[in-house]
Structure 1
């Protein structure tokens, strides 16, 4: 960033949490003029007094926190504006949208800064998950995004010109980290971590590795990694294990039991035309699978399919079950005895609460930056981490003048196939805090 000039006084508007609008005289340090050839590094000015008070965009931190929280919790911006008005904070819809957009950009920028700390080995490691039983699940949802394909030509300001949009479905990828008890269920009252991104599988897995690292998952009693059968998940688990520094003997990979049972049902739909026979056989094989006898299930299906040609669709289902069985992903009897989760209900619930209840609906489409921000904000507010995490975000953004959130992660399958050694970054001094601020 560019150096700053001596401060000068400016009069600016300041909105308080109660809705009061003030005109305040404060100091402003403009960036110094460039010298020599070339543009040089980019940078903007700064309000040092407001930065010390964590005031950004003419809004107090308390105002930004409350407006963004209501927008993340409620079904629409208009409903959030009405709820704020009932509480005595009268804002028009444009102000609500502007404040929420800034809060989302700040949260995404802060996550990028955390990743930068993580990559350079500057992130402190807490003991939040030390000695605990940790469940980690990932999956994808569906959200409609829109892009501008054409703007109105002719007169008029750019902001008021008519735009033509093209909308398309995208898969936001979500993760959840939580503590489970001796029966494999989430510990009541514990705080989970939910995060997600539209960027891609590599980016999601790096965010997952960062969260596991900062929470101290390497010292956990056991880490259960679970998902459905999506290849993009299973191709990257080993990268996450190496990058976090997890002890392989304390890591269990589990294929969601419901998805495995579904593939048995699909196979039987090709093999048994009679519905009663199919139902009885499915119930018997599903029971065997739950006891961990996956090989018996595959052999029973092979006996039924032995007369079918090699190109028949049933062989795809059998290969799927055999592949995960040989990789020790179907040992459900052992998982039950050890008190490990068998299914991915935690991530399915997270997708419903974070994505489906807020980001899907009739005629709802999002610009990608706004959708990415809503994923992060919803993940914070629904896991009861809002106050602590947003305080850390406000502190970071008080001195961070450039808001950028996009990042690119390494090609994890390529690194694994090349035989590259995946090592964790150098950990810092352990910290007892379990919040985002451990890396700030």
Structure 2
């Protein structure tokens, strides 16, 4: 028989494997010591009607904590009038309704907020020696998120002012602050598994399956532009309608988190009307900028339709049009679109849509003057935030 290793690493792993058994025993003893009276309680008051009731039995409950699995025997009370059972010790110990207690939930939520649920499951097991299913990770993150609002996760007004002061130091003009808004489709999973069926005698029930769903998350991000780098201020994403993201942005405004008098504020968007409507309502003096790179995608779409049989002509037209817009010659682009002879009605409609789009956003595509003032032309700041929430 091979001799068991006595190296420090082997001994460390041995203790690590048994640590929860040891620490759980200590925790159980502490709980019995500090709640001895509650564990021997014979009478209690019904929380519903206030009637005095007697203990019926000691009912064990097994819970999981970061120090291990504990089994607690609690006096169980039942009110016949209210038809409700309760254990006062659960309240005294502030137990979670779930088997995994608050410390595990907190650790799991922090981990699952940084990496995909499956990876969080694996890392949690490696780091703690305990199990945490990806379903539980999903559940605790969802429960934590339900109780958080934009103001709970945002920096304070003082912290934001400090960041602005650091960027503004040594500069003649106030720094540029960007408010970028965008929507992105993100993969989600439902709260419960689908396809669960009851088993029959001598026959396994069908295994539950998760069916992922794609939903649109709308979000915004405030950041400072400092010599080509982004300085984070605050950001927020949520799955919901325009009104809901608008309410979150309104809370930021009303809380006075953004000192507009200390910055040159601009709003960058992809042209969606909900973005401009919201920006004008809350920040009417901010410069509005149509994302140059989003506009470039529209140019490619028109070029593909207009010059479908000539890839070289497509590239030439797109690059020439982008250059004119980049240097502020919008009128030239509009005239060029008016003079294009389309091969069919469908192509002509694409050209007319682009003309109308540029005309509608003409105040937002003055890229020449915007560049000279130092404003960014793209929405890369919010796009990178979208990628983060889509992990």
Kindly indicate whether structure 1 or structure 2 has the higher relative contact order, using CA contacts under 8 Å at least 6 residues apart. 1
Matched, 1:110 2:110: no
Asked if 1 retains the 8 angstrom alpha-carbon contact of 2:267 and 2:279, the reply is no
Asked if 2 retains the 8 angstrom alpha-carbon contact of 1:255 and 1:330, the reply is yes
The answer for unaligned runs of 5 or more in structure 2 is 1-46, 165-174
SS at match of 2:265: strand
Match for residue 313 of structure 1? 350
Correspondence list, 1:298-309, <5 A: 298-305=334-341
- Equivalent of 1:67 in 102, 108, 111: 108
Q: Which moved more, 1:264-273 or 1:338-347?
A: 264-273
Q: CA deviation at 1:289?
A: 1.0
SS at match of 1:179: strand
Q: Distance in 1 between matches of 2:80 and 2:158?
A: 44
Matched, 1:349 2:384: yes
Q: Which moved more, 1:273-282 or 1:258-267?
A: 273-282
Taking structure 1 as the reference length, the TM-score comes to 0.58
Q: Which moved more, 1:345-354 or 1:129-138?
A: 129-138
Q: Distance in 2 between matches of 1:176 and 1:303?
A: 39
Q: CA deviation at 1:330?
A: 1.0
Q: Distance in 2 between matches of 1:208 and 1:58?
A: 37
> Deviations 1:176-229 (Å, cap 9, x if unpaired)?
423222446412xx45424221x3333233233334544612646233322223
CA root-mean-square deviation? 4.4
Q: Distance in 2 between matches of 1:344 and 1:283?
A: 20
Asked if 1 retains the 8 angstrom alpha-carbon contact of 2:181 and 2:275, the reply is no
Instruction: Sort the Cα spacing of 1:15 and 1:285 in 2 relative to 1 into closer, same or farther, 3 A.
Output: same
Match for residue 70 of structure 2? 22
Match for residue 91 of structure 1? 131
Match for residue 39 of structure 1? none
Q: Distance in 2 between matches of 1:30 and 1:301?
A: 80
Q: Distance in 2 between matches of 1:56 and 1:353?
A: 32
Q: Which has the larger radius of gyration?
A: 2
Match for residue 157 of structure 2? 126
> Deviations 1:78-104 (Å, cap 9, x if unpaired)?
x323222221332153xx533541332
> Deviations 1:21-78 (Å, cap 9, x if unpaired)?
223578999999769xxxxxxxx99954444xx966354544222212323333343x
Asked if 2 retains the 8 angstrom alpha-carbon contact of 1:4 and 1:45, the reply is no
Give the aligned length.
318
Taking structure 2 as the reference length, the TM-score comes to 0.64
Q: Distance in 2 between matches of 1:30 and 1:134?
A: 59
Q: Which is strand-richer, 1 or 2?
A: 2
- Equivalent of 2:289 in 254, 258, 265: 254
SS at match of 2:361: helix
- Equivalent of 1:170 in 181, 201, 214: 214
Asked if 1 retains the 8 angstrom alpha-carbon contact of 2:196 and 2:208, the reply is yes
